[in-house]
């Protein structure tokens, strides 16, 4: 407890999933949490949950893909708080788009606008609030930024861009006392997964989860709080000499080159997920 005491943390995409879990964990560690999202109703639920647990939290409606929305938000932060200590660029969208020659341009633009441009805009306009005292920036990457997914090249491009953008930011601001790292989750049990493949109750959703259990060395999907605790490490002084890094939290998926014996000895391997 208290690893973020007296710190102000901004979290985008805080209404659900990893963002919501991180807001709760940060608040429990003493941070005043600024929760930003476009999902107003869900965001209020996050705020109420934190306050009912004795934490500090405030909600702001922010569209991270809009420069006007982000600059307005940054001005409010400057006026109200003066400085911030932590920025978690977590907001993002994902959707299957097909092969490149079939990929809808508007979908590609939307994913790039929210995921990559949103990370850029929030960093650009909130970093000035960190220059005086330093701080920590965490960008939400993905294992999909390290390797490719079928029919999701736009998401791969955006997340790959975020991971390398993180390294550039880390170099730019190292002498200003601002550390910049990225967190690359694997497949995490969030509402986004429900949107992409279906819920646990739906046939496709069940099949997707079973397939991921099979192919993930740890034999299960990750939980939002497991990502939140990694973000906490990067936000706190526990990672004081860590910058320009990407931490993969994917249950081991990126640790192997091909399924190998998982395919050859399928029945034996699957027993580990039961």
Q: Which residues contact 119 (CB under 8 A, 6 or more apart)?
A: 64, 89, 139, 140, 162, 165
Residues 212-225: b if buried by 16+ CB within 10 A, e if exposed: bbebbeebebbebe
Element (H, E) at 71: helix 67-81
Sheet holding 246-249, edge to edge: 56-61, 32-37, 8-12, 86-89, 135-140, 178-185, 246-249
Distance from C-alpha of 20 to C-alpha of 231, rounded to nearest angstrom: 12
Annotated catalytic, 155? Answer: yes
**CB of 139 within 8 A of CB of 183?**
yes
Residue found under tokens 């694997």? 186
Confirm if 5 and 33 have CB atoms less than 8 A apart: no
Catalytic one among 155, 173, 241, 256?
A: 155
Using alpha carbons, select from 140, 136, 186, 185 the residue that is nearest to residue 163. Answer: 140
CB 218 within 8 A of CB 208: no
**What single DSSP character describes residue 51?**
H
Q: For residue 101, how many other CB atoms are within 10 A of its CB?
A: 5
Catalytic machinery residues: 155
């Amino acid at each position: 407890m208290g690893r973020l005491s007296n710190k102000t943390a901004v979290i985008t995409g805080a209404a659900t999933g990893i963002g919501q879990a991180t807001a709760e964990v940060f608040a429990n560690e003493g941070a005043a949490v600024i929760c930003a999202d476009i999902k107003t109703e869900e965001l209020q639920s996050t705020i109420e949950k934190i306050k009912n647990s004795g934490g500090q939290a405030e909600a702001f409606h922010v569209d991270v893909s809009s420069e006007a929305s982000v600059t307005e938000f940054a001005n409010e932060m400057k006026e109200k708080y003066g400085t911030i200590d932590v920025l978690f660029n977590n907001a993002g969208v994902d959707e299957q788009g097909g092969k490149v020659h079939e990929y809808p341009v508007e979908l590609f633009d939307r994913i790039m606008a929210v995921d990559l441009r949103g990370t850029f805009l929030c960093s650009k306009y909130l970093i000035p609030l960190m220059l005086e005292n330093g701080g920590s920036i965490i960008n939400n990457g993905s294992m999909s930024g390290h390797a490719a997914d079928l029919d999701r090249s736009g998401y791969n491009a955006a997340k790959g861009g975020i991971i390398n953008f993180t390294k550039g930011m880390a170099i730019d601001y190292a002498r200003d006392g601002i550390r910049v790292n990225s967190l690359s989750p694997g497949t995490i049990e969030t509402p986004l997964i429900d949107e992409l493949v279906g819920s646990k109750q739906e046939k496709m959703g069940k099949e997707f989860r079973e397939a991921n259990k099979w192919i993930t060395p740890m034999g299960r999907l990750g939980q939002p709080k497991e990502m939140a605790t990694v973000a906490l490490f990067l936000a706190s002084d526990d990672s004081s000499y860590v910058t320009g890094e990407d931490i993969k939290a994917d249950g081991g998926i990126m640790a192997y080159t091909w399924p190998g014996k998982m395919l050859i000895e399928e029945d034996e391997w699957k027993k580990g997920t039961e």
